[in-house]
Chain A
Amino acid sequence: MIGLLSYLVFFAIIVLILGVATLGLNLQWGTTGLFNAGVVGFYAIGGYAFAILCAPPRPELMANFGLPWIVGIIGAMAASALAALIIGLLTIRLRGDYLAITTFGVAVSIQLVTLNWEALTGGSLGLTTIPRPAAGLFDSSLSANIFYLALTLGATALVYWGLESIIRSPWGRVLKAIREDETAAIALGKDARLFRLQSFVLGSTIIGFAGALYVSFIGFVSPFDFAPILTFQIWTMLIVGGSGNNKGALLGAFIVWGLWSASGTFISMALPAAYQTQGGAVQSILIGLVLVCTLLFRPRGLIGEQPTVSRHLAS
């Protein structure tokens, strides 16, 4: 019973963290139409920045500052924002699939940096003993996890509420206008490039925040946590749930991660140890099938975007 409960708590934390990342992507793609194919890169920047700021110092590493949790979180968001700003300035004017290819390259390069810059990132061994907030207050790992669940729940709610109000604001309406018809938005005097850049930076900051929450929960970080497949998983979450809808983003995170975990559990029970790698392949094939089938049979996702009607017309 306790085993099941702690598994559910663990599962819920991961779903919420991935949900936050999906919300960030939804701002970029669902609202603004920016094709970020390097989600995992910004997730990794947030995770590593947090680890470097908060992990206790070790002589062989140049950084590791042992700073408080909240400083790490803010630092992680600042690092992702800065990276997104630089990349955005270079790439934001590109059309759809070129932006996708470039951001994909960003993610590949970031993974190389995490592997090779050993003095900063610990190389393939990664960084360990990254502290969790208020870890000393709890005597069992279950109660510590429940506390962390409450924390991620609060963080998710905050991001959700913030994005909902932002999207309904005049600023959010401009983003949607740019997505629908960039030329028309420019004709109305909106600086489309500036708005796209702002949306890209804000979305990537949220994705970096999710990365920091993840690393703080797991307690260590290595390049293998940020494999390219994570980008495709998060995209699948958004498309399955329904891009353009923040509830859809969270629902998609729950469904896709649920499918991934359930199939993983099933495979590890059903297959002998020698075939586990092949079992992992089945999990990825399932994700690919879900993505393709959603695009083919339900392109707007489970709960797609709500139609926007002016409140003057509605009443």
Chain B
Amino acid sequence: MIGQAIADGFLTGAIIALGAIGVSLSLQILRFANFSHSELLTWGAYIAVTFVSFATAGVSVGPLSFGWQLLAATAFAAAGTALLAILVDWLVFGPLRNRGANHLTLVFASFGAALILRNLVLLIWGPEARYYTNELQIAVEVFPDVRMLPDQIFVLALAFAIVLALHLFLRFSRLGMAMRAMAESPALARICGVEIGKVIRWTWILSGALAAMAGVFSGLTVQLRPEMGFNLLLPLFTAAILGGGGSLIGAVIGGLAVGLAENLSVLVIPAGYKAAVPFLLLLAVLFLRPQGLFGAAERS
């Protein structure tokens, strides 16, 4: 039982982590809580399902339920969602930022953007649940008493690879350094010649692409629904805050912690309350360690 819950927790956690990186980037670099971030997950998942409906998910490769076409769809969705994120910034957040609006005004605007994005999905693709493939899969026993679908193992490995690549990018590339500088202090970064516009654009590109991947993986392991992203909003925020400012690794560990907590909680509380677990975790973090597990205390 516990082993299975931990395995499921890692899977949910990996998906949440990919989404939480974007939330964390926007909290640090753009400096506002983006309530519309979760809708980028939904959009990514649905862009991929549209791609798949033209190309099909492909002949299944080995034990997986899909072929290379779904991977192509994921790449396509990542690009499309990154563009969408930039479009929303250009239309909504950018003008507000240029006006020097209070950062809470950006949060209100993200309420509105979230409503529009979520309901556009409902309008375009309809309310029914969708799937990438109708292939049935047989779970394999990875450890004694722990079963996972081949797709789930694939998702877990791919998520790990993406996080590793992103870590190297932020650590060693010039752009990654500029992004970290912006997170540290926008004024100082500007003085040092960091192009603010470029950093903001790349922040949206990364957040959008990662959100799309999280959306596709979530759709692959569960199903696609117009409210799939919205239901992940609280876990995403919890993971980002739990991880604290500064590091990418923080958001990832935050994501895994939320995923594990959700799945392990089912052993002790009724499953209907599972969705409240991130919230309890959030309250505990904000109360005990508001700077997050890995963040440095904010200077007052």
Contact = CB atoms under 8 A, between A and B. Distances in A.
B282 A235 contact: no
Majority secondary structure, B binding face: helix
A289 B91 CA distance: 12
Given A278-B122, A278-B126, A284-B119, A112 B276 contact: yes
Interface string A88-114: 001100101110111011101100110
14 contacts: A97-B103, A102-B283, A104-B233, A108-B234, A108-B275, A116-B270, A116-B272, A232-B111, A239-B108, A278-B123, A281-B122, A284-B118, A285-B119, A295-B109
A116 B274 CA distance: 11
A281 B39 CA distance: 14
Contacts of A239: 108
A239 B110 CA distance: 14
Interface in B274-290: 275-276, 278-279, 282-283, 286-287, 290
Interface in A199-234: 228-229, 232
A151 B272 CA distance: 38
B286 A288 contact: no
Interface string A276-315: 0110111011011111100110010000000000000000
Interface of B: 27, 32-33, 35, 92, 95-96, 99, 101, 103-105, 107-109, 111-116, 118-120, 122-123, 126-127, 230, 233-234, 237-238, 241, 270, 272-273, 275-276, 278-279, 282-283, 286-287, 290
A166 to B, nearest CB: 23
Contacts of B278: 105
Given A97-B33, A232-B111, A299-B101, A292 B127 contact: no
B93 to A, nearest CB: 10
Contacts of B103: 96-97
A167 interface: no
A312 B92 CA distance: 42
A295 B96 contact: yes
Given A102-B286, A288-B115, 12 more contacts: A96-B107, A101-B234, A101-B237, A101-B241, A104-B237, A108-B275, A112-B275, A232-B111, A232-B112, A284-B115, A287-B115, A288-B116
Contacts of A229: 115
Contact of A97 (B104, B118, B276, B282): B104
A292 B92 contact: yes
Interface of A: 35, 37, 90-91, 94, 96-98, 100-102, 104-106, 108-109, 112-113, 115-116, 228-229, 232, 235-236, 239, 277-278, 280-282, 284-285, 287-292, 295-296, 299
Given A96-B104, A97-B104, A277-B126, A285 B286 contact: no
Main secondary structure of the interface of A (DSSP, over half): helix
Contacts of A291: 108-109, 111-112, 115
A90 B287 contact: yes
A281 B283 contact: no
Contacts of B238: 105
A97 B32 contact: yes
A49 B123 CA distance: 36
Contact of A292 (B109, B237, B286): B109
Given A35-B104, A288-B115, A296 B282 contact: no
Given A97-B107, A105-B282, A296-B95, A282 B112 contact: no
Nearest to B281: A105
A295 B107 CA distance: 11
A94 B115 CA distance: 25
A108 B118 CA distance: 17
A285 B120 contact: yes
Contacts of A94: 286, 290
B125 to A, nearest CB: 10
Contact of B273 (A35, A37, A112, A287): A112
Contact of A101 (B115, B282, B287): B282
A249 to B, nearest CB: 15
Contacts of B275: 108, 112
Q: Among the interface residues A96, A235, A285, which one has the most CB atoms of the partner chain B within 10 A? A: A285
Nearest to A33: B104
Contacts of A102: 279, 282-283, 286
A94 B107 CA distance: 15
A109 B35 CA distance: 17
A285 B123 contact: yes
